[in-house]
Structure 1
Amino acid sequence: MLLPTNSYTEIIGTRVRSLRLGKGISRRKLSEISEVSERYIALLESGKGNPTLQILSSIAPHLEVTIGDLVDERPDASEEYMDFCKMLRNANSATLKYLKQQLNIKNIESDTKNHIAFIGLRGAGKSTIGQKLAFRLKIPFIELGQRIEQIAGMDTNEIFSLRGQSNYHRMEKEALESCLKSSSRSIIAVGGSLVLRPDSYNLLLSKCETIWLKASPEEHMERVIRQGDNRPMSSSVNAMTDLKNILESRIGLYEQADHTINTSETTVDESVKFISIKQNVVPH
C-alpha cells in the first residue's frame, strides 16, 4: 500500500528522532558526525523534510541501522522489530530456513482448534463415542443440550413449549459460546440441527475440530429406538422417509466437518482409536 508523502516523511522523521533519543545523541551531535545540518535534521524529525538517499545514508550508520530500516513503511516499527530485522540481515541461509520453519509452526499453533465437536443426527453415537474419547484424552465431555437446559433451568421440551424455538436457538448459541470461552480442551456433542444455524455452526467450525459421525438412516433409527425412545416410529407412519429426507438435506452441511467417521462401519472402540491417533494419543 502506498502511503501519502506527508505520512511517509512523518514515519521516517519519527523513526530518526526515536532512534537518536534512544542512543542518547543530541541533534547537534548527530549533525556533527553525519555532516547533515542541525536545521535539516530538525525538519526531518518533524516530518517536514524530504530526505534523499544520500542524507539517509549519512545518518543511518550513526544510528546503527540501515537505510532500509529508516524507510520501512511500518508505522509501529518498535525497537524489537528493528533488532529482529537486523538479526535476519546478518543470519546465514541455514538460520533463516530454521527461523522460517519456527514461525510457520507458531502460526499453525495459534490457529489450532482447541476443542473437539461431534456433529450428526441423533443415534450417530455422539454421546457414546464422546464420553469414551474424553476418558481416553482425559478432558471434559460436554453435552450441549444439557448445558442449554442448565442455562434455562428447564428441560428441552419445556423450553420449546414455554419459550419457543427462537429462544432455544439463542440459548444454544450462548451455551456454545460459554463452552468455547474456556482455554482448556473439551469434547462437545451438539444437537443434530445446530448446523442449520449459520452463526452457531460457523462458530463451531472456526473454534473446534469438527467430526461428523455418519450413519445410515436405518442405523440412526435403530439406535434411537434401542435407547428406549419410540417417538420416531410412533410420531409418523413415514418416519423413515422423513429421516432420510432430513439426512439428505443436511449432508452438505455435515460434510464441512474436518473429519467424517461412518459409525455404521466401525465400532465405538475403533472410532475412539481413530480419533485418538489423530490427536497424537497412543491407543491402548
Structure 2
Amino acid sequence: MTNAKSATLISQNNNNTDNIMDRRNFLKVVAGATVVAINPSLIRGNLYADDGRLFKAYEKTQLLDASGKPIKASMLEKEITYIFNYPYASTPCMLVNLPKPTAQNVELKSDSGEAYVWKSGVGKDRTIVAYVAICTHQLTHPTPNDSFITYVPTTGKTMAYDKSGVIVCSSHLSAFDAGAGAKVLGGAATQPLQAVVLEHAADDTLWAVGILGQDKFHDYFKEFRPEMKQFYGGPAEAKKLVSISAKTVKLSEFTKEIIQY
C-alpha cells in the first residue's frame, strides 16, 4: 500500500511539473531580449509585456465583404476607408490599404502614461492598417447617418494637418498618422487611436485578433447609450462581442454622409 501510494504521488508530481513546463513553454519572456512568445488569438485580458506594450485579445475574427466572401489583402483598394465592427457589435473600426509601407516598432503612449509599441502594418508590402474609428478626444465615430472621422488620401487636402495621407477627425480637427500606429499629429486629441491587431494569413485573408492601446470602449458605451438603442437594438446587443466574422464595407457605403475638413 505504501509503495502504491508513493508511486501515485510521484506520478502526480511529475504531471504537475509537466503542466508547469507546458505553461512556461507557452508564455516565455526572454530576459534581455524582451520577447513575448504568445499567440494573441489564444489569450484574453490585458497583456503587459516588459517593454510596456498594452494589448487586449478578443475573438479571432475574419474580415468578410458585403457578400460574405473573405476579404483578400491584395484586393483592397488603395487609400479607401473601409469600416467593420470589432470587437463589439457597435464599435466601428477602419481598415486602410496605404500607398506605402508603414513604419515599424513605433513607440506610443496613452494619456494614462502607459507606453506601448505598435509593430507595423500587415500584408505583402506592410501597407494594411486598422484602427478603432472612435476619436480619442471626444469619441467622435462613424454612424449610419454620418461620419466626421476618415482617412484623407494623399491626393486630398485637410485643414487638420499640413500634409494629407492621414486620419482626420473633423469634429475638432485632430490628425493621426495612419502609417505609424495612429499617433497624434495635431489637433485636440492627446493620445493615439486604438489599433486593431491584424493577422495576414497565408491564403491572403485578414483576421482581427485584438486591440492595442488605451481602452475607450467603456466611455463610448456610456456616452452614446441612446445611439446603442437607435442603431443596435439596445445596450446589451451593442455590447455583444464579435466572433467568427465581421462584415467590411467602404465608409461611403456604411454611412450616408462623410464630413471632412
Bucket of the pairwise TM-score, normalised by the shorter protein: under 0.3
Normalised by the length of structure 2, the TM-score is 0.24
As a proportion of its length, which structure holds more strand?
A: 2
More helix, by proportion? 1
TM-score, reference length from structure 1: 0.22
Q: Which has the larger radius of gyration?
A: 1
